[in-house]
Amino acid sequence: MQEILEAIQEGAPGDEIAALPIPESYRAAHVLRSEQDMWEGVPSEEKDPRKSLHVGEVPTPELAPDEVYLAVMASSINFNTVWTSIFEPLPTFGFLDRLGRESVWGARHARDYHVVGSDASGVVLRVGSAVRNWKPGDRVVVHCNYVDDQDPSAHDDSMLAANQRIWGFESNFGGLAELAIVKANQLMPKPEHLTWEEAAVNGLCASTSYRMLVGRHGARMKQGDVVFIWGATGGIGAYATQLVLNGGGTPVGVVSSPDRARLLNAMGCEHVIDRKAEGYRFWKDEHTQDESEWRRLGKKVRELVGEDPDIVFEHPGRQTMGASVFIAKRGGTIVTCAATSGYMIEYDNRHLWMKLKRIVSSHFANYQEAWEMNRLIDKGAIHPVMSAVYTLDQVGEAARAVHRNEAEGKLAVLCLAPEPGQGVADPEKRERIGEDRLTLFQRHARGEL
């Protein structure tokens, strides 16, 4: 891998990169099938990803014709890596086994280890015989929609493909590693004003927020819309906040500390609710919700912006869905992509049907949506929300911080990149866009805001 890293750092041309030998094994963050029952009886919040995420050598798999070997310079922690590492709601080995039964190439994935990670920035090392649009030496970022393009159901909206998967979660050989196997239709050009680690944090979260809010499959946000955003400085929330501001809407951002409220203000979000300070208790007990608390939240939003939200950006799930359905405007949209606090959801259906609201489900993004999102980042309209950088050896620690809701925005992980700050190939563009805007979350994490 050292030879590969040196070639990348020296800017070696594609033919030289193509001639470099692919190592027989590589370092990767992975969980083990033999440990999938290790947390039996342990409450979710006490499960520690540092114990289940291992970093070590794994054998390099063979390359399928529609894939590339990618030298991964950096990756990021997503919540799906947290789910994999705590084996909730299911161990991900079941996904790998199912993929393993689909085809000869799929069979490579059903292993006793699962290399995780659904984001990456890096350099293409080799391309399979069916790859047309990419070549060795290309500097790329990866989106995690993993589909079989020979499946007819993948050809309207690829998120509707019968066998759609999330790379590095429902497939093996993911991005938290020095090498990854990626389908050619997951690749996008790296925005060259960004460092490797800044470029690596956007793919999954930014594209998810794009589809939820902007894409024609989501809430179809329009100019002037009021958008209520849970977790507005979190991974998907921080991109949602930027998309609303960039698209001429008014975000109402929810956070859980004055410190996060300050960060949100610094992003340009004027209307902020600190849910901890307000002390909302939407559930009186495990079985009963408190409608007066929903009303209190709705009143707060009206005080702030003078009207109800056109769109509610929902992902905490059980804890908040009742309130989310309640506070949306008549005819408004609740768009949901997750259920961090529990997936058995309860809301008062009268508030949905009598006020003609709709709940829109959303999951990641198709290639076109991910590409559009990457284009916005490339134009400098949306910025990475990277707050800290970890090494591959610290991957468990980073996943633990996300699991414990200790991190803002995104945590990057250096894979082959030896230190932060490398990989900017267009410094003029970086200067034009502005260091301050690109490093807002890092400066906040360092206490500089």
CB of 344 to ligand NAP, least distance (A): 14
The correct pick among 37, 405, 431, 432 for binding ligand NAP (CB under 6 A) is 405
From 321, 402, 413, 438, residue interacting with ligand NAP (rule: CB under 6 A): 402
Tokens for 248?
Answer: 């001429």
Identify the residue among 81, 85, 186, 208 touching ligand NAP (CB under 6 A).
208
Q: Is the CB of 115 or the CB of 254 nearer to ligand NAP?
A: 254
315 binding ligand NAP? (CB under 6 A): yes
Task: Single out the residue of 256, 244, 265 nearest to residue 449, CA to CA.
Answer: 265
Q: CB of 278: closest distance to ligand NAP in angstroms?
A: 11
Closest CB to ligand NAP among residues 99, 335: 335
Tell me the two tokens of residue 163: 């066998």
Residue 6 neighbours by CB under 8 Å, 6+ apart: none
Nearer to ligand NAP, 25 or 361 (CB): 361
Each residue 320-349 as x (binds ligand NAP by CB under 6 A) or -, in order, gives: x----------------xx-xx--------
Is position 242 an interface residue for ligand NAP (rule: CB under 6 A)?
A: no
Q: Does 265 bind ligand NAP (CB under 6 A)?
A: no
Q: Does 364 bind ligand NAP (CB under 6 A)?
A: yes
Considering only CA atoms, give the Rg of the chain.
21
> What residues between 128 and 187 interact with ligand NAP by CB under 6 A?
none
Give the footprint of ligand NAP on residues 61-100 (CB under 6 A). Answer: 78-80
- Compute the distance between CA of residue 151 and CA of residue 126 in angstroms, rounded to an integer: 25
H or E segment to which residue 390 belongs = strand 386-391
CA 188/CA 191 separation, integer angstroms:
9
Distance from the Cα of residue 358 to its chain's centroid:
25
Stretch that binds ligand NAP, among 135-143, 204-212, 263-271, 418-426 (CB under 6 A): 204-212
Closest separation between CB of residue 84 and ligand NAP, Å? 11
Question: Three-class SS string for 126-184?
Answer: EECCCCCCCCCCCEEEECCEECCCCCHHHCCCHHHCCCCEECCCCCCCCCCECEEEEEH
φ/ψ of residue 382, rounded to 5: -125, 140
Using CB under 6 A, pick the residue from 123, 236, 272, 392 that binds ligand NAP: 236
Quick one: which of 263, 276, 200, 199 has its CA closest to 237? 263
- Under the criterion CB under 6 A, does residue 255 sit at the interface with ligand NAP? yes
Give dist(CA 409, CA 402) in Å, integer: 10
Taking the least distance from each CB to ligand NAP, the nearer of 76 and 110 is: 76
The footprint of ligand NAP on this chain (CB under 6 A) covers a number of residues equal to 30
Return the residue of 109, 111, 275, 329 that touches ligand NAP, per CB under 6 A. 275
Contact yes or no for 126/206 (Cβ under 8 A): no
Q: Is 263 helix (H, G, I), strand (E, B) or coil?
A: helix
Coil/strand/helix, residue 401: helix
Q: How many angstroms separate the CA atoms of 4 and 8, rounded?
A: 6
Query: In the beta sheet, which residues pair with residue 113?
Result: 32
Please give the residue ranges that form the binding site for ligand NAP (CB under 6 A). 78-80, 204-205, 208, 230-231, 233-237, 254-256, 260, 275, 315-316, 319-320, 337-338, 340-341, 363-364, 402, 405
